[in-house]
């Protein structure tokens, strides 16, 4: 933590769509003054302009739906601003009163005490690509829902595909051959099928936009190195790199595992130790991508044509680390699957170790 000047002023900002409640904690004071302003650039500049030296001002606010534009604005004005992880803000168990005034005052006091945990603010390019990756995830979810609606409609009318996996070329041909004597049913089937085709096209369009970022800074190195690992396609590697950006900000593998919420919850006191389900705290998008990649390790270790293609041009030491990770994780998946009835629990455990391997790769 940097050494603060005795004249440092701390701003705790409770930020909403239309308003900002600012708790102003002046040097030598214990209770912050509170001022409420409109949430726009002009009002923020007017607030900061009241201080003789903006470099002596330290501001903070909780990460939330308003994003990072406020932090970037404050930094451009010479104010050091930190965006705080909401789940890491200390809170008394008996505190049942929440108002904007109390929140901004608490932020200002805790910030001066050094009790808050700041998150990394991505660059505008990093944030833009991250949003595009999250758009793809939304498109995949929309496509899955559309497909489920179509298959459930067909099931209600005894149209069941038994020729193998769904959504293959054969399955698509079977769908195209379906017909209904009732006009209303035929119309319903046409609408459901049209939605699936539209979702397919939207997903393909988003993925085409993302492909252009595989070989562009600042993602290229991370995409190629992460893509060496089984289950991590180039698209998945881009999503991982866009979410984490700087892997070196984590001092050890356990920090990454906790960041993605794949560590078990724990309540230990005295001589008792109790561990429960994974915390599911932190970055949901990153955790989902890791779990999706972990399912690839349920099979025997192997370097197929797709993985070999991703290995092409990589340093030998990267390929060696990826193979060592595959040996370990495939064995781990088989070992846990023999003991657990629920495969999703096994996939989560393997995803936790995969996060550690990927962190070690990116900091090597």
330-351 pLDDT, tens digit each:
999 999 999 998 999 999 999 9
The domain segmentation of the chain, as residue ranges, is 9-113, 124-211, 220-363
Residue range 292-305: mean pLDDT, rounded: 96
* pLDDT digit string, tens, across residues 134-184: 999 999 999 999 999 999 999 999 999 999 999 999 999 999 999 999 999
Q: How far apart are CA 252 and CA 47, in angstroms?
A: 40
pLDDT at 114 over 70: yes
User: Can you give the pTM of this predicted structure?
Assistant: 0.90
Beta pairing class for 57-62 and 9-15: parallel
Q: For the residues 13-36, what does the mean pLDDT come to? A: 96
Helix (H) or strand (E) holding 22: strand 19-25
- What is the model's pLDDT at position 96? 87
Secondary structure of residue 267 in the 3-state scheme: strand
- Say if domain 9-113 classifies as CATH 3.20.20.70: no
Residue 6: band (very low, low, confident or very high) from pLDDT cuts 50, 70, 90? low
Average pLDDT over residues 59-77: 97
- For the chain, the residue count is 364
**pLDDT score of 268:** 79
- Angle, helices 316-337/343-363, rounded to nearest 10 degrees: 160
- Strand order of the β-sheet with 9-15 is 33-38, 19-25, 9-15, 57-62, 80-84
The radius of gyration of the chain's CA atoms, rounded to the nearest angstrom, is: 25
Task: Characterise 175 by phi-psi region: left (phi > 0), alpha (psi -120 to 50), beta (else).
Answer: alpha
Q: For residue range 70-112, what is the model confidence (pLDDT) as tens digits?
A: 999 999 999 999 999 998 899 888 888 999 999 999 999 999 9
The SS3 of residue 236 is helix
Q: φ and ψ at 61, to 5 degrees?
A: -155, 160
pLDDT of 327 reads: 98
Sign of CA dihedral 143, 149, 155, 159: negative
Residue range 10-14: average pLDDT? 98
Q: Please report the pLDDT score of residue 281 as a whole number.
A: 85
CB proximity list for 79: less than 8 A, separation 6 or greater: 11, 48, 54, 55, 57, 58, 59
Neighbours of 187 (CB within 10 A): 11
For the chain, what is the mean pLDDT?
95
Q: How confident is the model at residue 3 (pLDDT cuts 50, 70, 90)?
A: very low
Burial class (CB in 10 A: 0-12, 13-18, 19+), 253: middle
Q: What band does 5 get if pLDDT is binned at 50, 70 and 90?
A: low
pLDDT interval class at 271 (50, 70, 90): confident
């Amino acid at each position: 933590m940097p050494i603060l000047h005795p004249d440092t002023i701390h701003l705790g900002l409770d930020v909403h769509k239309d308003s900002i409640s600012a708790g102003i904690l002046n040097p030598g004071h214990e209770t912050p003054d509170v001022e409420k302003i409109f949430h726009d650039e002009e009002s923020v500049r007017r607030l900061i302009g009241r201080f003789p030296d903006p470099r002596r001002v330290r501001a903070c606010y909780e990460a939330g739906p308003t994003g990072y534009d406020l932090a970037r604005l404050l930094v451009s004005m010479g104010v050091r601003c930190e965006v705080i992880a909401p789940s890491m803000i200390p809170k008394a168990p008996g505190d049942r009163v929440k108002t904007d005034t109390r929140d901004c005052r608490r932020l200002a006091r805790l910030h001066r005490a050094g009790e808050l945990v700041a998150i990394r603010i991505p660059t505008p390019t990093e944030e833009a690509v991250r949003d595009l990756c999250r758009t793809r995830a939304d498109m995949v979810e929309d496509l899955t829902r559309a497909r489920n609606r179509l298959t459930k409609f067909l099931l209600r009318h005894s149209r069941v595909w038994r020729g193998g996996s769904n959504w293959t070329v054969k399955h698509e041909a079977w769908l195209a051959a379906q017909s209904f004597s009732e006009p209303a049913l035929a119309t319903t089937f046409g609408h459901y099928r049209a939605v699936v085709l539209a979702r397919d096209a939207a997903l393909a369009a988003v993925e085409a936009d993302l492909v252009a970022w595989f070989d562009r800074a600042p993602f290229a190195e991370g995409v190629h190195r992460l893509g060496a690992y089984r289950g991590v396609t180039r698209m998945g590697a881009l999503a991982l790199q866009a979410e984490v950006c700087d892997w070196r900000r984590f001092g050890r593998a356990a920090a990454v595992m906790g960041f993605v919420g794949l560590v078990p919850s724990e309540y230990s006191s005295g001589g008792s130790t109790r561990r429960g389900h994974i915390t599911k705290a932190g970055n949901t998008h990153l955790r989902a991508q890791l779990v999706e990649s972990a399912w690839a390790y349920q099979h025997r270790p192997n370097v197929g044509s797709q993985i070999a293609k991703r290995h092409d041009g990589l340093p030998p030491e990267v390929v060696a680390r990826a193979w060592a990770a595959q040996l370990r994780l495939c064995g781990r998946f088989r070992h846990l699957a023999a003991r657990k009835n629920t495969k999703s629990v096994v996939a989560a455990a393997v995803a936790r170790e995969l996060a550690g391997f990927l962190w070690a790769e990116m900091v090597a």
